[in-house]
Amino acid sequence: MLKNIILMGPPGAGKGTLAKQLKTAFNLTHISTGDMFRENIKGGTELGLLAKKYIDDGHLVPDEVTIGMLKDRLAQEDCANGFLLDGFPRTLPQAEALEKLSKEINRPIEVVVNLDCDNQELIRRISGRRVCKNCGAPYHITTMKPKVEGVCDLCGGPLYQRADDNEEALKVRLDHYVHDTKPLLDFYAERGLLENFNSLMGSQELFNQVSTFLNK
C-alpha cells in the first residue's frame, strides 16, 4: 500500500474529511499545517500569534515559519508507518524543502492525491462549513449536519465557523491556491506522483476510490 501521502486541492475540496477517513482506515498519521497553526493560536503561543495575522485574512504564513514547523513534525516517531500531509506543501519552496527533507529522513513521498472541484461548489462548501473546536471534525450546515445542532458527533465539542471561512478571506485563499499552490501539480506530475480525483462525488464514494487506488 502507498502510505506517505500528500493531499492537494483548493480550500473546500474535502482534504480534511478524506484525511480523517484515511487516517482511521489505514492507521496513518494526519498532519494538517492549518490545524497545527490553529492549535498554536488556541494555545496563545508566539507561533500562533504570528500565524493569526496571516490566516484571518486568508494569506499564507511565510515559508520559513511553515517549513520549520513541518520539519519537526515529520521527523517524529508516529510518522514512521505513513503520513497524510493535508495543506502542505502550498508553495514551490515548501515542495522543494519537503523533497529534500523526506529523502534525508528516508520517508519519501509515494503519491500526491489531488482533489479537483469547481469554484461554485467550493464557495458553497466553505460558507456552510462548521468545525469542532475540540477535535477539528468538519460538518456542513445542510449536507453534513451533526446529530445535535452545534455539537460534534464524535467528541461532543462545540461547532464553530472558522474566522477565515468568510467570503473575503476565501477569495484571497482561492487566489493563493491558483498562483502559489496549483503550479505544484506540475511539479509532482513531472515526478510521476500525481493522481487526480474529482471531489464532486460524495465523500464516501471519494474515500472508496482513493482507498482502492492506495491499496493497489
Active-site annotation, residues: 15, 90, 129, 162, 173
Q: Which of 5, 18, 19, 37 binds ligand AMP (CB under 6 A)?
A: 37
Contact call for residue 199 and ligand AMP (CB under 6 A): no
Cβ proximity of 184 and 109 under 8 Å: no
Closer of 171 and 215 to ligand AMP (Cβ): 171
Least separation in angstroms between CB 68 and ligand AMP: 11
What's the full length of the chain, in residues? Answer: 216
DSSP track, 168-182: HHHHHHHHHIIIIIT
Q: Which of 61, 74, 98, 174 binds ligand AMP (CB under 6 A)?
A: 61
Sorted by sequence, the CB contacts under 8 Å of residue 175 that are 6+ apart come out as none
Q: Residue 80: count other Cβ atoms within 10 Å of its Cβ.
A: 12
Cβ proximity of 17 and 138 under 8 Å: yes
Contact call for residue 88 and ligand AMP (CB under 6 A): yes
Mark the segment that binds ligand AMP (CB under 6 A) among 23-31, 86-94, 144-152, 182-190: 86-94
Q: Which of 6, 31, 55, 206 binds ligand AMP (CB under 6 A)?
A: 55
Q: Which of 4, 17, 66, 102 binds ligand AMP (CB under 6 A)?
A: 66
